Amino acid sequence: MNANLLQTPIDYLKGVGPSRAKVLKTELGIQTYGDLLNFFPNRYLDKTRFYKINELQRNSADVQIVGKITHIKSVEQKRGKRLVADFVDSTGKMELVWFRGQKWIRENLKINTPYVIFGKTNWFNGVFSMPHPEMELVEDYKKQLRTAMQPVYPSTEKLAKAGISNRVINKITQQLFLEAKGRFFESLSEEILQEFKLISKSEALFNIHFPKSQELLAKAQFRLKFEELFYIQLQLIRKNLLHKKKIKGYVFEKVGENFTNFYNEHLPFDLTGAQKRVIKEIRNDLGSGAQMNRLLQGDVGSGKTIVALMSMFIALDNDFQACLMAPTEILSVQHYNGLIDLCKELNTSIEILTGSTKTSKRREIHEKLENGEIDILIGTHALLEDKVQFKNLGLAVIDEQHRFGVAQRARLWKKNDLPPHILVMTATPIPRTLAMSLYGDLDISVIDELPPGRKPIKTVHRYDANRLKVFAFIREEIKKGRQVYIVYPLIQESETMDYKDLMDGYESIAREFPEFQISIVHGQMKAEAKDYEMDRFVSGETQIMVATTVIEVGVNVPNASVMIIESAERFGLSQLHQLRGRVGRGAEQSFCILMTGHKLSEDSKTRLQTMTTTNDGFEIAEVDLKLRGPGDLMGTQQSGVLNLQIADIVKDNDILKTARHLAIKVLKEDPNLQLEKNKVLHHTFAQISRKKTIWNYIS
């Protein structure tokens, strides 16, 4: 089939025209014949059987019936009118009802002419009715290209308003198949088709839009999902291989004085097996001659900072500088204090640069940085300013990377002749499935064990009715010398209401605990006021911190042992897990108490149950992924990242693994897809890469 046909603008397809084309473009992104071909149904209605009216059940199912309209009338109701038609077959009578578009329907309905109707039935006052049925004259029905499994396409309000119904999409898709004569280019090699027993591309496309049977539909779905995931993985893995081949990195040959001295003399505790493994992976990258591009995942408190510091020592041992960039000032200061503490007996020069660094101090830092007197610079986005010039930056560590845009990270590269090695850290556990897709072009290291001596946090769920017991527990813990967080949800749309919740909460806590000092922190406070309150809590002046989720990332108060989350049902799982990670940082037993009302949705119950049964961030992330879907999980900055046409990386996890495995195998044998047997793959890959997909922009 002529490939150019699929590039034809959708306006030229019979049955579309300029006004429909405009809506298809804005609402569904369908610009060409090819886009329509790849706009897949999201469910199917089984039209394998016709019902008689006397067989209908009172279960509001979708049914298909053949009969005639005998009578039409308008019926007055509270608001306006409804149009009602009597519909009969040889076994009985039912009603068809319309609330909208009545004039047009009334003019076009034919009395005493056989129709096929399809829709949901309702049972009311002893009569079955079908609101807004799909209708087709029996003589037209017999002419159509149709299947027993009726496709239902995704729709929007604007499509419905423009009259682009499911039937219209079905019709124009039929027209496309007629023009293309049902022949489409194969996009997988003969070898792959045989190895995985896949049906041909033409057969798959036909059966996804017009399935002849359940079995053929399943084969078509498998084939198209497999292909989509395979090409995504091919893109990501190839990008990673090219990156390693093309983008040269500084070779850090030696592990010297800084690293060994710290490791032998100054480590505050023994490294876990996982930390040792990750440091080894990083050492291999740094010596390989290619630029390191590694993602380091580790749950809250798993000891990522030590790994980052030891990686920085390798840079220093090879006469390079290192930097650590964090998303917020609070987090930068915390990293700075942590590293200063770890290096107090070493002569490592560490500085911090944030938005609030005084001008005179800034000048001094800029100068020392350029002449190489500073070894490690820690900071926020301020590190990206053009004025910040390193003598020779060898390693950049980026914490909680999803909070930085791609363009911002690229600016770090421009600070040198060669790009620095990049180590990205995150405490947001990303399920394997998602990591394979979102970060398929990064190498991934995981720290999956907690340092020795850390006790798992005990998590319990309590209803508002138990509040007095919870208060008594808080009092006991504070008397033992511990501190307590009480967190209120913040839902952006209703800042004022949330602010009121927080203030009411603060007042009731103040009334309940007159003997204790209380800090309060929320998003509407000025930065100085926030820092002042945080500092009071960190230094132990206040015993209770009442806050919104501002404290979610990175505040480190080892003495805080109780985290109370109010209206816990209003939080997502990953947020609950992050908040819980604020406690459990000292040697004492810590607790997380999830407070809710009695009315809970099924999803909320699942979330609360997951939190009380496991502390494993990866397990929690898997449940979260199932509940929320991939788009949400990465937060807004990554939303739409996975606009897959047919595959679902949660449900099709197994297909994803197989496709990734195959992509690795193909590229190992034939990195540039030059072999004769991979000609088809090369051609398809080139076409896909031309459409700059979102994949090219990830990480």
CA distance 174 to 6: 14
517 and 409 fall within a common domain: no
262 and 137 in a common domain: no
Using a 10 angstrom Cβ sphere, with 0-12 exposed, 13-18 middle and 19 or more buried, the burial of residue 395 is: buried
Do 415 and 463 belong to one domain?
no
pLDDT tens-place string over residues 95-149: 999 988 888 999 999 999 999 999 888 888 889 999 999 999 998 888 776 666 7
**Nearest alpha carbon to residue 305 among 273, 330, 268:** 268
Residues 496 and 566 in one domain: yes
Q: Residue 18 in contact with residue 24, Cβ under 8 Å? A: no
* Domain boundary pick from 614, 632, 663: 614
Residue 91 is predicted with a pLDDT of 94
Q: Is residue 32 part of a domain?
A: no
Compute the Cα dihedral for 277, 280, 285, 288 and give only its sign: negative
CB 206 within 8 A of CB 40: no
Pair (387, 476) in one structural domain: no
CATH number of the domain residue 91 falls in:
2.40.50.140
Same domain, 411 and 476: no
Domain presence at residue 501:
yes
Please tell me the predicted confidence (pLDDT) of residue 634: 41
Identify whether residues 582 and 535 lie together within a single domain: yes
Query: Is residue 168 in some structural domain?
Result: no
pLDDT in tens, 71-94: 999 998 888 899 999 999 999 999
C-alpha span between 594 and 652 (Å, rounded): 33
Report if residue 61 sits inside a domain. yes
pLDDT of 200: 95
127, part of any domain: yes
Report residues of the chain scoring pLDDT below 70: 1-3, 60, 145-148, 401-410, 412-415, 433, 436-441, 491-499, 550-555, 629-643, 691-699
CATH code (residue 590): 3.40.50.300
Let me know if residue 549 belongs to a domain: yes
Q: Which of 119, 147, 175 is the last residue of a domain?
A: 147
Q: In the chain, how many domains are there?
A: 3
Burial of 406-429, coded b for 16+ CB within 10 Å and e otherwise, reads eeebebbeebbeebbbbbbbbbbb
CA 108, 114, 116, 118: dihedral to nearest 10 degrees?
A: 70
**Is 686 inside any structural domain?**
no
595 and 478 belong to one structural domain: yes
Q: Which amino acid is at 681?
A: L
> Is 590 in the same domain as 469?
yes
Q: Are residues 593 and 465 in the same domain?
A: yes
**Domain interval for residue 114:** 49-147
DSSP state of 402: G
pTM (global) more than 0.75? no
Q: Is residue 24 part of a domain?
A: no
How confident is the model at residue 265, as a pLDDT? Answer: 92
Q: Indicate whether 266 and 325 sit together in one domain.
A: yes
Of 147, 164, 189, the domain-final residue: 147
List, for residues 306-362, the tens digit of each pLDDT value. 999 999 999 999 999 999 999 888 788 889 988 999 999 999 999 999 988 999 999
Phi, psi of 121, rounded to the nearest 5 degrees: -100, 145
Same domain, 471 and 392: no
> 165-174 — which CB contacts under 8 Å span 24+ positions?
166/134, 167/134, 168/15, 168/20, 169/39, 171/15, 172/13, 172/14, 172/15, 172/16, 172/36, 173/36, 173/37, 173/39, 173/209, 174/144, 174/145, 174/210
Here the tokens at position 8 are: 């034809």
H helices present in 539-616, as ranges = 573-580, 602-613
Give the per-residue pLDDT at 616: 84
Q: Which of 80, 64, 615 is nearest to 301 (CA)?
A: 615
**How confident is the model at residue 368, as a pLDDT?**
96
pLDDT at 462: 96
The order of strands in the sheet holding 421-426 is 350-353, 376-379, 321-325, 393-399, 421-426, 293-298, 443-447
Q: What is the pLDDT of residue 407?
A: 59
